[in-house]
Amino acid sequence: MRVGIQISGRGSNMQALVAACATADFPADVALVISNDPSAAGLEWAAERGIKTAAISHKGMEREAHERLMDAALVEAGVELVCNAGYMRVLTPWFVDKWHDKLINIHPSLLPSFPGLDTHVRALEKGVRWHGCTVHYVRAPVDEGPIIAQAVVPVVAQDTPDALAARVLKAEHELYPIALKLVASGAAPVVDERVMLAEGVVPYSVCHPGVAS
C-alpha cells in the first residue's frame, strides 16, 4: 500500500513509519511526505533518504482550498492511505470525506479521553493512573473515529507533563507502525463505525514504566 505522511514539524512519528516500511515484508511503502509548513524539519529528513516530499504552505489560503492542493499532491503520488503524523491542522469535512477510511491519525491520549490539546497536562490534573496514545481512523469531529490500536503508559506520582509526554511519545513510535501494518494488510476494516480486527489479531498495547512508582 502506498502511504502519504502528513507532517507539520520534525516528524518523529513519520520517522518511525519510514523505518517500519523499510523492513522486510512490511505491507506499505512511503510514497510521499507532505507538509503545510515548508520549513518543517521532517521534510529535509525524508528528502535525505530519497523519499519524495512536497510542501504546500497554508498561509493566506482558505482551509479547503489548501487541502485541495494537498489532495492533488497525494493523488499524483499514487497515495492510497494518508497517515497524519504531527500534522497540526484541523481537516475540513471535505478532505476527511474524500479520504474516508483511508486517513489515520495518532493522538497522545487513550481516546475517547482527552481529545484535543494539552493531553498530558489534563491527564495529570485529573489524576488518572493510565495514559497513552491512540491510532484511529479520522472523522470530521476532532480526535474522533474508529479506534485501530492503543498503547498504555502508567502515570506515576512524580510525573510532570514533559516526563509523561516523553514516555507516551516512545509508545507512539512503537504503536503507529503496528497500526499501519494492520490497516495496510487489511486486518483492521471499519464495519458500522467500529474497527473489526481480523480473527486472531489482538489490539496492541504497550507499557513503558519509565520510572519507579
- Give catalytic residues, as residue numbers: 107
Q: Cβ of 165: how many Cβ atoms within 10 Å?
A: 18
**What is the C-alpha end-to-end distance of the chain, expressed in Å?**
42
Between vectors from CA 29 to CA 27 and to CA 30, what angle results, nearest 5°?
145
Grid cell 515484508 — which residue?
25
Residue type present at position 77: A
CA-based R_g, the chain, Å: 17
Between vectors from CA 102 to CA 96 and to CA 104, what angle results, nearest 5°?
80
State whether residue 195 is helix, strand or coil: strand
Instruction: Judge contact between 106 and 13, C-beta under 8 A.
Output: yes
Q: Specify the DSSP class assigned to residue 197.
A: P
